[in-house]
Structures are given as structure tokens and as C-alpha cells.
Amino acid sequence: MEMNKYIDHTLLKADATYDKIETLCAEAKEYDFASVCVNSYWVSACAELLKGTDVKVCTVVGFPLGAMSTKAKAFETAAAIADGAKEIDMVLNIGEMKAGHYDAVRADVKAVVEAAEGNCVKVILENCLLTKEEIVKACELCVEAGAAFVKTSTGFSTSGATPEDVKLMKDTVKGRCLVKAAGGVRCYEDMEKMVEAGADRIGTSAGVKLMQKETSDGGY
């Protein structure tokens, strides 16, 4: 697979305007990225801007904390799918994961998977808040719930993806789902390391700079 098709071209900042979303979509079309990843308000606009291309619209659910009710996550998912989203990046219920309430964690993910009606669901574990053992267990729960991907990070917490965590996740899921690395992937070499470790998708706000083999000065 070409490197451009690993990239979910991302804009999740609170101050995103339509002009910035329009630019994001134009860049995604130019570089033929896998998707654009935006907050749900912008899904319908992106679906219109990307009509006729194979660039998918991805949105976030329960973002960035994961502490929303399961009903709210499912409703948010269904609304996003109706607006044109083809991929959902949901945040795990991190508090319940830390507490060892695994049935609740699994049910939370499963509700979103069901609401997505067969569309791709990626589950953000927020690895920086979990132990290695919790990362492994969370991956297992996501597989059991039918998720298409497990994902390292929101990019909005204390740290982002590491090649070590990507490898741990890849080794844990054993091909039963895919792995997305996100948060802090700001240069082409970072992306190469994540792919080498087993990442099937890269979430980054620096997609254009990555393809131009430049380094981003910040962002998701």
C-alpha cells in the first residue's frame, strides 16, 4: 500500500472553520488520503466536498475523554453515519477500563459498532493512561465487540503513539482487527516507524508535510 493511503488527514481543533475544512478536503483529494477525520459537525460538509472521490469521511465519537454515556455515543454514531461518515473513531470508556469493569467497556464499544451499521469503527484506547496489561485487555475487548481497528491515542492527552505500543497492539489482535497510530506523528520517519511496527492507518494533522517529507511543528 502506498504511504498516502495510510493517512487519516485530521482536523479536530475547536477553532476549525469551514474554510479550514475545505482546505483539509482539498488536500485529501490532492494526495488521495484514506480519509479526512473531523468533528461530527463537519461530516455533512466533508461528504459533499469529497463526493466522487474514494477519500472517506471519518469522525470522532465520545471525543476526547470517552466518558460520555453509551447511549450518547451510539446516538452520535448514528447521526454521523446519516450525515455521510463512513468511519467512526470512538474513545474507549477509560475510567471503566481502569476500574476493571470489562463488561461495561465491551458493551460501550459494541453499541457503537451496532450503531455504525457495518461501517468501520476504530476504538481509541488512550494508551498513555493505561498500563501495558490494560492495553492488551482493551484490545481483546475491542475485538470481542467487533471493532475494525484499535487506535493508540486521541492526540489530546499526555502523549501520543509509540512504535512499542503499536507493536504490542498488533501482536495482541493477531489479525482479528487493524491498528491505527495517532498523536505525535509529525514527520515521514515517524510514520515509517509506526508502519514498520504494524500500523495499518496513521492519524495526523500533518499529512501534507509527511508526504512532502517535512516535519510538522505540532498538532494532532
Active-site residue (options: 56, 86, 122, 151): 151
- Is the bond into 163 cis (omega within 30 degrees of 0)? no
Asked if residues 111 and 141 have their Cβ atoms less than 8 Å apart, the reply is no
Give the residue from 12, 78, 77, 83 showing the smallest Cα distance to 50.
Answer: 83
144 grid coordinates: 470481542
Active-site residue (options: 8, 73, 86, 89): 89
Determine which helix (DSSP H) or strand (DSSP E) holds 46, and give its type and residue range.
helix 43-49
Active-site residue (options: 56, 180, 190, 200): 180
Q: Which residues of 114-124 are buried (b: 16+ CB within 10 A; e: fewer)?
A: ebbeebbbbbb
180 is an active site residue: yes
Give the catalytic positions in this structure. 89, 151, 180
